[in-house]
């Protein structure tokens, strides 16, 4: 049986922590940031945990 390949798009967007949580970036931070208030861009900063149901699907895509 050949090795299963992990999904290239998912590899670039998600990462799995040591405890198994799937982390993602927040949306709406890519461009047009000069039109958004500093308060909004700060709120959208950092990474957050993906919803549990979605995390299950992403883990399937990321399997090695």
Measured CA to CA, the distance from residue 59 to residue 16 in angstroms comes to 8
Residue 58 maps to a domain: yes
**Does the pLDDT of residue 64 top 80, yes or no?**
no
Q: What pLDDT, on a 0 to 100 scale, did the predictor assign at position 32?
A: 96
Does residue 38 form part of some domain?
A: yes
* pTM exceeds cut of 0.95: no
Residue that is written with structure tokens 């399997």 in the block: 63
Which pLDDT value is given to residue 1?
Answer: 86
Whether 9 maps to a domain, the answer reads no
Give the chain's length. 64
| Residue 49 domain boundaries | 23-62
Has residue 50 been placed in a domain? yes
Q: Within a domain: residue 33?
A: yes
Domain count, the chain: 1
pLDDT tens-digit series, residues 2-55: 989 999 999 999 999 999 999 999 999 999 999 999 999 999 999 999 999 999
């Amino acid at each position: 049986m050949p090795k299963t390949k992990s999904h290239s798009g998912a590899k670039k967007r998600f990462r799995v922590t040591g405890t198994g949580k799937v982390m993602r970036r927040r949306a709406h931070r890519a461009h047009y940031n000069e039109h958004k208030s500093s308060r909004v861009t700060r709120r959208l900063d950092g990474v957050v945990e993906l919803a549990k149901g979605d995390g299950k699907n992403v883990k399937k895509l990321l399997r090695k």
